[in-house]
């Protein structure tokens, strides 16, 4: 089933292997693109743009020029990093939520 993030993504929505792969060190653009496609992962464009801009790593004009797939890959990568950190801190119990706010 495709995953669309309109506002929030929970830890339990993603396979553990996806979280591990998409939060690994080094250049993982190809892996993130694979998982985006495999999961049918999409995001609300407006919220993704706002969220990514607030991260301070991308300029507004740069983000506005990106296609929806690239925005989804950036959100997936950030969410997996957050989830990996959460698991390392709290163990693999319960769930964590990644919000596009």
Whether 96 shows a pLDDT value over 60: the answer reads yes
Q: What is the DSSP string of the chain?
A: ---EESSEEEGGGS-HHHHHHHT-SS--HHHHHHHHHHHT-EE-HHHHHHHHHHHTSS-HHHHHTS-HHHHHHHHHHHHHHHHHHHHHHH-SSS--EEE--
| pLDDT of 19 | 96
Q: Please state the rounded mean pLDDT for residues 52-65.
A: 85
| pLDDT of 95 | 56
Lowest mean pLDDT among 19-23, 31-35, 89-93: 89-93
pTM for this prediction: 0.90
| pLDDT of 13 | 94
Structural domains counted in the chain? 1
Range of the domain at 13: 4-99
| pLDDT of 28 | 96
Identify the band that residue 10 occupies on the pLDDT scale cut at 50, 70 and 90. very high
């Amino acid at each position: 089933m495709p995953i669309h993030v309109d506002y929030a993504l929970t830890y339990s929505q993603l396979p553990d292997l996806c979280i591990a792969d998409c939060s690994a060190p080094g250049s993982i653009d190809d892996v993130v693109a694979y998982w985006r496609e495999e999961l049918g992962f999409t995001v609300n464009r407006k919220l993704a743009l706002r969220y990514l801009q607030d991260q301070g790593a991308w300029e507004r004009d740069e983000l506005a020029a990106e296609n929806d797939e690239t925005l989804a890959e950036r959100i997936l990568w950030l969410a997996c990093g957050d989830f990996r950190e959460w698991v390392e801190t709290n163990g693999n119990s319960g769930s964590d939520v990644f919000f596009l706010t």
